[in-house]
Amino acid sequence: MNPKEIAKKWFRQGVHELEMAEKNLEIGGYDVASFLAHQAVEKLLKAGFASEGKEIPRTHYLDELAKGLQLPEELYEAVVELTPDYTFSRYPDASSGVPYEQYTEQMAREKVEIAKRVLSYFEARWGRP
């Protein structure tokens, strides 16, 4: 499979996960929305690697992915805020409580907005694959 096809698959999955994050906001699934925001950003960043013909890193750490693509500092800092959600939103033993009880609507909306910013950045930098 060529890099453009690979980028398109990662991009489409990232956009889908962002859409699902938004739907979870509507039904009060704030932990799920936060997790899916992380996943959307991860997929979009990996699509960025493919768009540039680079090997896609096998990591869930958004900071590593963002550094590898040299995201602008402001966006990099926003993306880093999502990194813990890969674990904290799903595992009760990763924090001091049950994940779904610790996420608020405001927290989740902010995380989804970060994912939307990454999508906008992606489209400005690489276009839609």
**How confident is the model at residue 92, as a pLDDT?**
87
Domain count, the chain: 1
Residue 128 backbone phi and psi in degrees, to 5: -95, 125
* CATH number for the domain harbouring residue 98: 1.20.120.330
> Model-level pTM?
0.95
State the pLDDT confidence band at 11, using cuts at 50, 70 and 90.
very high
Helices and strands (H, E) in the chain, number of each type: 7, 0
Q: How far apart are CA 34 and CA 57, in angstroms?
A: 22
> Is the separation of the CB atoms in 25 and 105 below 8 Å?
yes
Domain holding 115, by residue range, is 3-126
Percent of the chain's residues with pLDDT above 70: 100
Distance from CA of residue 55 to its chain's centroid?
A: 18
The predicted-structure confidence for 57-113, as pLDDT tens digits, reads as follows: 999 999 999 999 999 999 999 999 999 999 988 888 888 889 999 999 999 999 999
